[in-house]
Amino acid sequence: MKKVLFTGGGSAGHVLPNIALIEELLSSGDADVCYMGTDGIEKRLIADWKIPYYQIECPKLIRGGLPAWKKNIKIPAAFMRAEKQALEGLRIYQPDVVFSKGGYVALPVIFAARKLKIPCLAHESDFSLGLANRISAPKCEYVF
């Protein structure tokens, strides 16, 4: 049985498509699944599914001018911590593949998965790739 780690978050738009896939995989018995995300909306939405949840603390880019720049200056260090947390969760769960729906939480998960040579897939529902999927696309085997 394949082990699939889902990631994506920041808004329900990144999580609900993952839930549809999780529901299908669980009902068919085709895969063992888990989720990696923050303490945000993804954690609340996934809780009903009673699957393993690996929580990471992930920085979110704040867009717009000088005030944003001052807040974003801490992102590199926070991203490295998030990537380390993702590595720990990936080593515990040992997925066969990571499926990302995008959103800021997906970036450290994709980066960590590639360090462990775990194949990654990304899905984008919008007309053009969001920032997280644009950054992670070169690290993914497929972007849908």
So what's the pLDDT on residue 67?
74
So what's the pLDDT on residue 62?
81
> Please, which residues have CB within 8 angstroms of residue 68's CB and are 6 or more apart in sequence?
62
Domain count within the chain: 1
CA–CA gap between residue 71 and residue 54 (Å, rounded): 26
pLDDT digits (tens, 9 = 90+) for 78-116: 999 999 999 999 999 999 999 999 999 999 999 999 999
pLDDT of residue 70 exceeding 90, the answer is no
Q: Are 118 and 97 in contact (CB under 8 A)?
A: yes
Q: Are 106 and 8 in contact (CB under 8 A)?
A: yes
CATH label of the domain that carries residue 139:
3.40.50.2000
CA–CA gap between residue 93 and residue 44 (Å, rounded): 20
pLDDT of residue 20 exceeding 90, the answer is yes
DSSP for 35-60 reads EEE-SSHHHHHHGGG---EEE-----
Task: Read off the pTM.
Answer: 0.92
Domain range for 25 is 2-143
Nearest to 106 by CA among 128, 124, 127: 124
